[in-house]
Amino acid sequence: MRDTAMLAIDEKTATDDYHELTRLIERLHRRFLDVLRTELNLMDITDINAVQALLLANIGDEEINVRELMSRGYYQGSNASYNLKKLVEMGYLIQEKSERDRRATMIRLSEKGLELVSKMAQSEVKQSELLSRSNPSPDIEATRKSLRQIERIWTDYIQYGAQ
């Protein structure tokens, strides 16, 4: 009887921990967008938003198929399409039909986009320095490994279902 009660407590604790973890991931993502928004404001960039800036950073110096960008799991279709259109209009992205497959649309950063991503990289250096100087300093390597493991578990769940 005692073992069953302890197991129920352990399961509740694990469920509570999972619930808190998923909410924390969601809040951290929103907070990260707030950090990007603050950096854009400090750079006097007002023509794009934080989500669009993050999209540019995820493209980086690649020339990528729009479908590939979405298949990486970063963006939903209509959301990505809207933001890509706005980034092209604002001069941050260049969008062209693929020479190999005329049905595919390829995107890459313009000079303006590359310049912004470079500034954002400098901001990341600043943020990483602030993080490393915090007391106590978080174990970034362990955190990264844990988040990768969660990502792998969730990806397997999506692809193969509960096992």
Round to whole Å and give the CA distance between 145 and 124: 19
In terms of Cβ atoms closer than 10 Å to its own Cβ (0-12, 13-18, 19+), residue 75 is: buried
Q: Is it true that the peptide bond before 138 is cis, omega within 30 degrees of 0?
A: no
Which residues, in sequence order, are CB contacts of 34 under 8 Å at separation 6+? Answer: 50
| pLDDT tens digit sequence for 45-82 | 999 999 999 999 989 998 988 878 777 766 666 688 88
Report whether 83 contacts 52 (CB < 8 A). Answer: yes
Domains of the chain: 2-125+138-160 (1.10.10.10)
DSSP code of 63?
-
Instruction: Give the 3-state secondary structure of residue 163.
Output: coil
Q: Is there a contact between 110 and 93 (Cβ–Cβ < 8 Å)?
A: yes
Read off the pLDDT of residues 92-112 as tens digits, 9 standing for 90 and up.
999 988 777 777 888 999 999
pLDDT at 163 over 90: no
Local structure of 99: helix, strand or coil = coil
Give the contacts of 81 (CB within 8 A, at least 6 positions apart).
Answer: 66
Q: What confidence score (pLDDT) does residue 135 get?
A: 80
Band (pLDDT 50/70/90 cuts) for residue 125 is: very high
Question: Contact, 85 vs 93, CB < 8 A?
Answer: no
- Structure confidence at residue 99 (pLDDT): 78
Do 126 and 145 meet the contact criterion of CB atoms below 8 Å apart? no
Evaluated on CA atoms 118, 121, 123, 129, the torsion sign reads: negative
Spatial neighbors of 107 by CB under 8 A, at least 6 apart, are 59, 63, 64, 65, 66, 69, 84, 88, 93, 94, 95, 96
- For the chain, the average pLDDT equals 87
- Asked if residue 24 lies in contact with residue 52, where contact means CB atoms within 8 angstroms, the answer is no
At residue 1 the predicted structure's pLDDT band, cuts being 50, 70 and 90, is low
- pLDDT of res. 134: 85
pLDDT at 74: 62
Q: What is the mean pLDDT of residues 11-15?
A: 81
